[in-house]
Amino acid sequence: MHKYSSLWLDESLIANASSRAFSGLFIRVQLIYGRRKKCDEVKPICGDCKRLGLICVPRQHPNHASSDGETSSGNKTSPGGLSVCSPYPGPLSNDEGRSNSQKPPIEQIQHLSVESTPLLDWITLIDEDPNWPELFRRNHLDQSSAIFSRRAPVPIKSVQDLATIFPMTALNSLTGVMPEALEGWSVGEEHLLNHFQQVVARALVVVHDDENPFLLQIVPMAFQYASVRHSIVALAACHLSKVYPDFRKDVFDHQSLALKSLKNELEHEDHVESALVATLILCLLEICEGNSRKWLLHLHGANALVERLETRNHDLLQFLIELQEFLRTITGITTPNTLKTPEWLLSEKPSRPISVHPLYGVAHSLYETMNQINELAAKRTSRYDSAEIELAFMSRGREIEMVLQGWSLPHGFENNQDDREVTAAALAFQWAALMRLRQIMNGNRAQHPSVKPSIEKILSALSIIRPGSRNEAHMLFPLFMAGLESTTKANRLTVEYRLNIMETTIGFSNITGVHKLLDRLWHKSNDGDPNVDWETLIQSEFVGLVLL
């Protein structure tokens, strides 16, 4: 039997229909659905529902109904004895059918006016609570035939034989990965390295492959330093484990090997660069786990290694320093940290060409301003200690707000589709930062008049960025802020749909965590608690979640 046993009728049709006409129509609809294949009375789940992956809800026969016209599950019965289920499906228990608390459709709609119902469905809060196990089930392929090895593996006698297992890709011209360089690598490591190049490295930046530092500079180091090799392989395994849980073992194994190699390299002064690379990759791994706070330890370690560098005299060091600063900014939005920029970095501001940055896009100065917002957020606990402190707090907030409002896009980035998308991502980040700043200044419980325009600006920018675009790497924070303050069905669906796409295209578990967090907040809002503190919820239920 199909999961939904009644038709979701248009509310305007119902509101305009007389009770007699509606009753006749509803009975006919139920009779139509009654022709569908019935559930086996012996087996708890019919074949069709099992094949389609649906929840099977057996019908209640007339003789199962109570004397007052209600079935044992609490649903009203029509004159024909058919179970009238709510068109708003709710959570299902194991054997009880639909929830007792749901109203029959007539009771749900009789209070709606004819004029308001068509628009009301889209501008009011979402009524139904999601079925969490279905909504957030992972796309596991743990039973896929692809993950099982052949009984008789191909014998490897030469480098040429190895190439048949590890196929060459066009990226090898950028990374320098050749079959000869893979001597000593297991087939599993080769596959994970390939996955890092083709998927993970691309998901972390907003530039083309020929400008991607993870491909150009990080991958070649994997053939020189064991710590970099195992950290890259562990990150790729973490990414794959969302779809293939068997790769969890590879995550643990290579993470342990990376930490062991890192410990050895830290004993040598001339291995600071490789140690910094491995530490930052391990930090990314913990962030992308979605439910770990170990990234904070790695971030502190990276900060200590940056202090030991004392220079950024080539492209690799420049990128590593910027990656550490980027992670410090993003993690500071959801988790207060006490990391400070090394003094020598403050006095040495490198000149940046007018181009799209791999991490920041065209919004580098916005991320610097976001650091100031994070620092202001850390001072909220003491803002009311005295009138002077409160005045200074608000004054600093207004200064940051003026900087954000005065920010403008760099010139020369609006001539093609790629440039329009990267500028749209920057504008979305600008409005999200403004929303975050006003939350800090006015409190999470305050509805600032600028909230609705800010949401509209973010969703407008989102419409320019194609689903699957590399610029989605910058959209998690803006999407979270827009979803956080959205109260209409249309806006929430827009945010959730794009998050669902990003869970597949970017593929890290922290995106799933953000999706779950928003759904929890929407659930509480629908239950009459719109002022729930999302930061408290992160610290209690979503510990370590990062908007990367």
pLDDT tens for each residue of 164-219: 555 556 677 788 787 788 888 988 998 999 999 999 999 999 999 999 999 999 99
Using DSSP's 3-state secondary structure scheme, residue 28 falls into helix
83, β-bridge pairs: 77
Most confident range, picked from 69-78, 304-313, 426-435: 426-435
Which ranges constitute the DSSP H helices of 150-241? 159-165, 172-175, 187-195, 201-203, 213, 219-221, 226-240
Confidence (pLDDT) at 177: 81
**pLDDT above 90 as % of the chain:** 50
Residue 345 makes CB contacts below 8 A (sequence gap 6+) with 306, 321
Lowest average pLDDT, out of 3-7, 174-178, 201-205, 337-341, goes to 3-7
State pLDDT tens for residues 348-367. 666 666 688 999 999 999 99
Would the pLDDT of 392 be above 70?
A: yes
Average pLDDT across the chain, whole number: 78
Q: Which one has a higher pLDDT value, 201 or 84?
A: 201
**CA separation, residue 499 to residues 245, 421, 506 (Å):** 22, 17, 10
Residue 120 makes CB contacts below 8 A (sequence gap 6+) with 11, 112
Q: Which one has a higher pLDDT value, 531 or 259?
A: 259
Separation CA 534–CA 340 (nearest Å):
26
In this structure, is the dihedral angle defined by the CA atoms of residues 358, 433, 499 and 248, taken in order, positive or negative? positive
Q: Which one has a higher pLDDT value, 97 or 343?
A: 343
What is the rounded average pLDDT of the residues 447-462?
A: 90
Confidence (pLDDT) at 141: 73
Of the pLDDT bands very low, low, confident and very high (cuts 50, 70, 90), residue 87 is very low
DSSP state of 361: B
| pTM of the shown model | 0.74
State pLDDT tens for residues 426-451. 999 999 999 999 999 987 655 678 88
357, β-bridge pairs: 361
How many angstroms separate the first and last alpha carbons of the chain? 42
**CA separation, residue 142 to residues 111, 147, 244 (Å):** 48, 8, 5
Residue-wise burial string across 274-308, b where 16 or more C-beta atoms lie within 10 A, e elsewhere: bbbbbbbbbbbbbbbbbebeebbebbbbbbebbee
Would the pLDDT of 129 be above 70?
A: no
Separation CA 132–CA 511 (nearest Å):
16
Confidence (pLDDT) at 339: 78
Would the pLDDT of 272 be above 70?
A: yes
Confidence (pLDDT) at 76: 43
Q: Which one has a higher pLDDT value, 74 or 547?
A: 547
Confidence (pLDDT) at 88: 37
**CA separation, residue 186 to residues 162, 163, 230, 279 (Å):** 10, 13, 12, 23
